[in-house]
Amino acid sequence: MTSNFKQRLKGANLTQRLKGANLKQRLKGANPKQRLKGANLKQRLKGANPKQRLKGTNLKQRLKGANPKLFKTMNPLLEKAAEVLKTSKHTTAFTGAGISVESGIPPFRGPEGLWSKYDPKILDINYFFENPQDAWDHIKLLFYDFFGESKPNPAHLALAKLEEVGIIKSVITQNIDNLHQEAGSKTVWEYHGNYRKLICPLCSTKFDSQDFNLKELPKCRHDGSILKPDFVFFGEGIPEHAGSSSIHEASIADVFLIIGTTGEIMPASMIPGLAKKNGAKIIEINTETSKYTDDITDIFLLGKAGEIMTEIFEIIVK
């Protein structure tokens, strides 16, 4: 991670970030006047400040300097992946916790994961209804206080931009952090739900969590029932629409782009295999090899999602 990138993530301008600088504006470049004067799409996609871009996440340049050997191995693969994406008819991205790590969200599993510090029972559906106050106190701390601070990283932004130019058709995500939508992705299948919504177990009404004072247990405004975060707890099924849409994607996609998931969480982990069976090419971006790598992956790109996606994006739009 370059200091520039880190700075950007952590927010040199925290106030602006907290105030929620308009994402569209950010994507399209900081100077809307300039944009209106007719910067073309390519230019706009590449961002308003190319100098900054060069100083920042240009993986190729950095690799060339830092590790010429790795660069030699990686570069043809990046070019190949970009070519496959560019010529695809229907690319579906399939993302997991790894894509959000660069946004400061720790994964659930692993030595640094949330489950190394917290008891997973707080996300058990029965525990939630039996001990709502205790469960809620933890859930608020872990998700609402913490996730609220995170912002999309270059990997989320690159996926959104590739959807804008028609290359990515949809994103299936196992994450509940809402970062794909914040980045501007339009078609997002949330396999495990989204923390931003609260649902009433009695009348099924969904509420925006931001409309509640989360220091207290949120209650349904129609019937007073305790609201449950609208993501999948242990002991719950996959949301029907997201589940069936994901299977549909796996049946029509000619390219599946796996990012930041090692395929350990069932039944989500089966979707890429289904796509492969239906003839999709599999591109995988992970910081380590996964269950997929030797089994179904056609192009394996080792590295951080933000850096690799930025590089692929630049090859595609150049």
Catalytic residue numbers, as ranges: 192
CB closer to Zn ion out of 54 and 203: 203
Residue 62, token pair as written in the block: 């950095």
Quote the CA–CA distance of 263 and 204 in Å, as a whole number. 31
DSSP annotation of 106 reads: P
* Minimum CB distance to Zn ion, residue 228 (Å): 11
Cα angle 142, 144, 148; round to 5? 110
* Minimum CB distance to Zn ion, residue 231 (Å): 18
Tokens 């100077």: give the residue: 31
CB closer to Zn ion out of 101 and 199: 199
Contacts of 88 (CB under 8 A, 6+ apart): 167, 254, 255, 281
CB closer to Zn ion out of 218 and 263: 218
Measured in degrees and rounded to the nearest 5, phi and psi for residue 52 equal -60, -40
User: Which residues make up the interface to Zn ion (CB under 5 A)?
Assistant: 200, 202-203, 220, 222-223, 225
CB closer to Zn ion out of 154 and 218: 218
* Minimum CB distance to Zn ion, residue 232 (Å): 19
Q: Do the Cβ atoms of 61 and 111 come closer than 8 Å?
A: no
Residue 13, token pair as written in the block: 């301008």
* Minimum CB distance to Zn ion, residue 199 (Å): 9
